[in-house]
Amino acid sequence: MQKTLITSLFLFASLIDSRSYIDYESPYHPVVGKHGMVVSQNYLSSDIGIEILNKGGNAIDAAVAVGFSLAVTLPRAGNLGGGGFMLVYIKEKDEIFYIDYRSKSPLNANLENIFDIVSPDGKKFEVVPKNFDINKFDVLDTGYKASAVPGTVAGLLDAHAYFGKLELKEVLAPAIAQAAAGINVTYDLHKAIESTPRLYDDLESKRIYFKNDTAIKENSILKLPDLANTLSLISQYGKDGFYKGETAQKIIKAMNENGGLMDLEDFSQYKAHIRSPISTEYRGHKVFTAGPPSGGGITLLTALNILSFFELGKYKSNSIATYHLFSEALRRGHNNRSSEVGDPDFYNVPVDKLLSKERAKEFVKSIKYNKASKATSIKPLRVINESRDTTHYSIIDSEGNAVSNTYTLGASFGSGVTIPGTGILMNNQMNNLMYRNGNVNVEGRRVSPGNRFSPGKRPMSTMAPVMIFNQDNELSLITGSPGGSYIPGAILRVVTGVIDFDLSIGDATMLPRVHKDWPYKGIDYEKTLSSDIVKGLKSMGHKTSSNKTMGSTQSIHIVDGVRYGYADLRRPNASASLQKTN
Cβ pair 99, 405 in contact under 8 A: no
Residue 121 Cα to chain centre, angstroms: 43
Cβ pair 107, 389 in contact under 8 A: no
Helix (H, G, I), strand (E, B) or coil at 454: coil
Burial 145-178 (b: 16+ CB within 10 A, else e): bbbbbbbbbbbbbbbbeebbbbebebbbbbbbeb
> Which of these, 569, 561, 560, lies nearest to 526 by C-alpha position?
569
Residue 582: the pLDDT is 55
Residue 132: the pLDDT is 66
Query: For a pLDDT cut of 90, what percent of the chain falls above it?
Result: 78
Cβ pair 416, 205 in contact under 8 A: yes
Are residue 223 and residue 330 in the same domain, yes or no? no
Please calculate the CA angle 571-572-577 and round it to the nearest 5 degrees: 105
Q: Which helix (H) or strand (E) holds 361?
A: helix 357-365
Q: Which residue has the higher pLDDT, 22 or 61?
A: 61
How many domains does the chain divide into? Answer: 2
Range among 124-138, 204-218, 380-394, 428-442 rated most confident: 204-218
Q: What is the mean pLDDT of residues 454-481?
A: 97
Residue 35: the pLDDT is 96
Are residue 259 and residue 374 in the same domain, yes or no? no
Own/partner pairs for 106-109, CB < 8 Å, 24+ apart?
106/148, 106/149, 106/261, 106/262, 106/263, 106/266, 106/455, 106/456, 107/263, 107/265, 107/266, 107/269, 107/455, 107/456, 108/261, 108/263, 108/455, 109/261, 109/430, 109/453, 109/455
Are residue 48 and residue 174 in the same domain, yes or no? yes
Is 23 part of any domain?
no
Choose, from 247, 299, 322, 390, the residue flagged as catalytic: 390
Band of residue 28 on the pLDDT scale cut at 50, 70, 90: very high
Q: Could you tell me the CATH number of the domain that includes residue 517?
A: 1.10.246.130
DSSP bridge pairs for 424: 419
Residue 151: the pLDDT is 98
Are residue 261 and residue 169 in the same domain, yes or no? yes
Confidence check: pLDDT of 13 > 60: no
Three-state SS annotation for 113-125:
HHHCCCCCCCCCC
Q: Is 390 a catalytic residue?
A: yes
Residue 519: the pLDDT is 77
Instruction: State the average pLDDT for the chain.
Output: 90
Is 29 part of any domain?
no
Q: What is the mean pLDDT of residues 517-528?
A: 86
Cα distances (angstroms) measured from residue 405 to each of 106, 343, 545 = 24, 19, 31
Band of residue 384 on the pLDDT scale cut at 50, 70, 90: very low
Is 241 part of any domain?
yes
484 torsion bin: left (phi>0), alpha (psi -120 to 50), beta (else): left
Residue 22: the pLDDT is 53
Cβ pair 246, 422 in contact under 8 A: no
What distance in Å separates the CA atoms of residue 102 and residue 274, rounded to the nearest whole number? Answer: 12
Q: Which helix (H) or strand (E) holds 279?
A: strand 278-282
pLDDT tens-digit readout, 204-248: 999 999 999 999 999 999 999 999 999 999 999 999 999 999 999
Residue 411: the pLDDT is 92
Is 301 part of any domain?
yes
pLDDT tens-digit readout, 438-466: 777 767 777 788 899 999 999 999 999 99
The answer to which of 1-5, 190-194, 254-258, 413-417 has the lowest mean pLDDT is: 1-5
Is 144 part of any domain?
yes
What distance in Å separates the CA atoms of residue 89 and residue 334, rounded to the nearest whole number? Answer: 27
Confidence check: pLDDT of 122 > 90: no
Please calculate the CA angle 465-344-139 and round it to the nearest 5 degrees: 75
What distance in Å separates the CA atoms of residue 386 and residue 407, rounded to the nearest whole number? Answer: 13
Residue 440: the pLDDT is 74
Is 78 part of any domain?
yes
CB atoms within 10 A of CB 568: 24
Confidence check: pLDDT of 5 > 60: no
pLDDT tens-digit readout, 321-357: 999 999 999 999 998 998 889 999 999 999 999 999 9
DSSP 3-53: HHHHHHHHHHHHHHHHHHHHS-S-S-PPEEESS-EEEES-HHHHHHHHHHH
Query: For a pLDDT cut of 70, what percent of the chain falls above it?
Result: 90
What distance in Å separates the CA atoms of residue 397 and residue 38, rounded to the nearest whole number? Answer: 9
Q: What sign results for the dihedral spanned by CA atoms 75, 80, 86, 92?
A: positive
DSSP letter at 518? S
Are residue 400 and residue 359 in the same domain, yes or no? no
Q: What is the mean pLDDT of residues 415-437?
A: 93
Is 451 part of any domain?
no
Residue 421 Cα to chain centre, angstroms: 28
Are residue 504 and residue 542 in the same domain, yes or no? yes
Is 19 part of any domain?
no
Helix (H, G, I), strand (E, B) or coil at 471: coil
Q: Which residue has the higher pLDDT, 505 or 20?
A: 505
What distance in Å separates the CA atoms of residue 491 and residue 356, rounded to the nearest whole number? Answer: 21
The answer to which of 386-395, 435-444, 552-561 has the lowest mean pLDDT is: 435-444
> Which of these, 80, 229, 228, lies nearest to 156 by C-alpha position?
80
Are residue 140 and residue 192 in the same domain, yes or no? yes
Are residue 61 and residue 142 in the same domain, yes or no? yes
Q: What are phi and psi of 146, to 5 degrees?
A: -75, -10
Give residue 526's domain range: 293-386+460-563
Are residue 327 and residue 203 in the same domain, yes or no? no
Q: What is the mean pLDDT of residues 71-100?
A: 97
Are residue 487 and residue 555 in the same domain, yes or no? yes
Are residue 105 and residue 218 in the same domain, yes or no? yes
R_g (Cα) of the chain, nearest Å: 24
Largest Cα–Cα distance in the chain?
108
What distance in Å separates the CA atoms of residue 495 and residue 286, rounded to the nearest whole number? Answer: 12
pLDDT tens-digit readout, 263-307: 999 999 999 999 999 999 999 999 999 999 999 999 999 999 999
The answer to which of 16-20, 60-64, 80-84, 248-252 has the lowest mean pLDDT is: 16-20
DSSP letter at 176? H
Would you say how long the chain is, in residues?
582
Quote the crossing angle between the two packed helices 296-307 and 487-499, to the nearest 10°.
40
pLDDT tens-digit readout, 366-377: 999 888 877 655
Are residue 55 and residue 197 in the same domain, yes or no? yes
Q: Which residue has the higher pLDDT, 259 or 383?
A: 259
